[in-house]
Structure 1
């Protein structure tokens, strides 16, 4: 592997079609497509300022690096990435990618990141600002996530999340086969139109959570008093610890809680309208 150390590159495609490179303390200045159509690339202690630096790259490691705002749309159409201990200020990262491993990464503009990606493994990721992280992505494993981005995890499939704190709105819409453990989910309209969404040891806050859900499961979950009109038109099996403020028109299944503030069953309830609702 060739070592390139303490260098700067700029302009159009300075390292185009390079292979077997170790870039150490390298800066990619203003320009486009600095490392395009490459393979077997290691970048350590590097700074990326130009647009689109890693496109069509196959097999690469990014360790202790920084992506400036100008390094937008930096990682697209690539595969087999390992990224560690990296700070990203640029938006629209990770698009149409496969086999991504992320550890100790902070993204300060998480706008439209991780779109249409497959096989993502995350450990200790912080997402700030932006909209629609992880949209249309599949086969995701997360252990340690803190996010205040809007509309996270929409249209995703086959996801397992542990130890997350997610503050958002309209999270987990239209998802399929998603399980969330030991997490805090804050925001309105959680999990609408989901299929096989399972929440274990989670705390939920925000208005109208978990409506139009199919085969929803809650195990040992708690609800903030702000959660009203929960479970409208959902099929579910829910074990709630503590109180829930209001349950409205669930379709079928079973809900058990320590206490229930109120239950709304009106003329708009949908068949079979046979959900069992009870307190301990």
Structure 2
């Protein structure tokens, strides 16, 4: 199949290449004008710059690299399936909504506010993110070497696997299901509240009142540094913690193996202390 080729072109105006199919664009800039590639199919993009809103809506099968989404290209990729973005710089917020089959590699989001919402089948490798409410209500997420700074990350997400990452995020992983995080560092208050099936392996966590209100919490070879009031109202805990914990408060049930506890709060008016075994290594 012969592809249409656009090389070193400039377009502006609304829907400038609406419905474009089987096209290769290189060194091309889309200036002012909404929805330049809306409803496009089978695109190969290299060194393309989007300067205005809604560039890739309702698209299918997009392979893009060396891209720039400038600040006003906000809400840039919605309702799009099968898109790969590599070696790119994203300056605009609210990208990626209700998309399926998203691959992000070696890409930087300088303003990722409200980005990656309600998406499915997402793969991220070596991605840098700065912005609040990243990954809300998305599912089927696999991330390796994710560097994220921004609060309320992955609220309501499900079936999430994250490895070799650094997450600086208050209220991260709230209301989630089936989350596994390995070989990572997590810093932020109130980690993981109201989540079920959360597994942490070989992770370092700093979180005031973190890991509370969780059903089925598994921890293996983890460290909790400067973490207090942990495990409040957690049930079915299976935790192996190599460090001391500043304080533990009112877990509902399970087993906690820990290097030490600064303050243990077990209020029989709130919980049944006999349902939780706490083993402190001597």
Aligned to 2:114: 112
The answer to whether the Cα contact below 8 Å between 2:145 and 2:163 also exists between their aligned partners in 1 is yes
The question of 1:231 aligning with 2:231 is answered yes
Aligned to 1:178: 179
- Secondary structure at 2:279 match in 1: strand
C-alpha distance in structure 1 between counterparts of 2:252 and 2:225, whole Å: 23
So what's the TM-score if we normalise by structure 1?
0.97
Per the TM alignment, residue 272 of structure 1 is displaced from its structure 2 partner at its CA by: 7.3
Per the TM alignment, residue 52 of structure 1 is displaced from its structure 2 partner at its CA by: 0.3
The question of 1:266 aligning with 2:263 is answered no
Per the TM alignment, residue 273 of structure 1 is displaced from its structure 2 partner at its CA by: 5.2
Aligned to 2:136: 135
5+ residue gaps in structure 2?
none
The question of 1:17 aligning with 2:27 is answered no
The answer to whether the Cα contact below 8 Å between 1:233 and 1:269 also exists between their aligned partners in 2 is no
Aligned to 2:218: 217
C-alpha distance in structure 2 between counterparts of 1:271 and 1:61, whole Å: 55
Per the TM alignment, residue 268 of structure 1 is displaced from its structure 2 partner at its CA by: 4.2
RMSD value, Cα: 1.0
- Secondary structure at 1:11 match in 2: coil
Structure 2 CA distance for partners of 1:208 and 1:137, relative to 1, 3 Å: same
Per the TM alignment, residue 266 of structure 1 is displaced from its structure 2 partner at its CA by: 1.4
The answer to whether the Cα contact below 8 Å between 1:250 and 1:273 also exists between their aligned partners in 2 is no
5+ residue gaps in structure 1?
none
C-alpha distance in structure 1 between counterparts of 2:164 and 2:270, whole Å: 35
- The size of the alignment, in residue pairs, is 278
The answer to whether the Cα contact below 8 Å between 2:21 and 2:41 also exists between their aligned partners in 1 is yes
Aligned to 2:30: 28
C-alpha distance in structure 2 between counterparts of 1:204 and 1:273, whole Å: 27
- Secondary structure at 2:220 match in 1: strand
Aligned to 1:123: 125
Runs of 4+ in 1 over 4 A off after TM superposition: none
C-alpha distance in structure 2 between counterparts of 1:121 and 1:75, whole Å: 16
The answer to whether the Cα contact below 8 Å between 2:8 and 2:26 also exists between their aligned partners in 1 is yes
- Secondary structure at 2:105 match in 1: strand
Per the TM alignment, residue 271 of structure 1 is displaced from its structure 2 partner at its CA by: 4.5
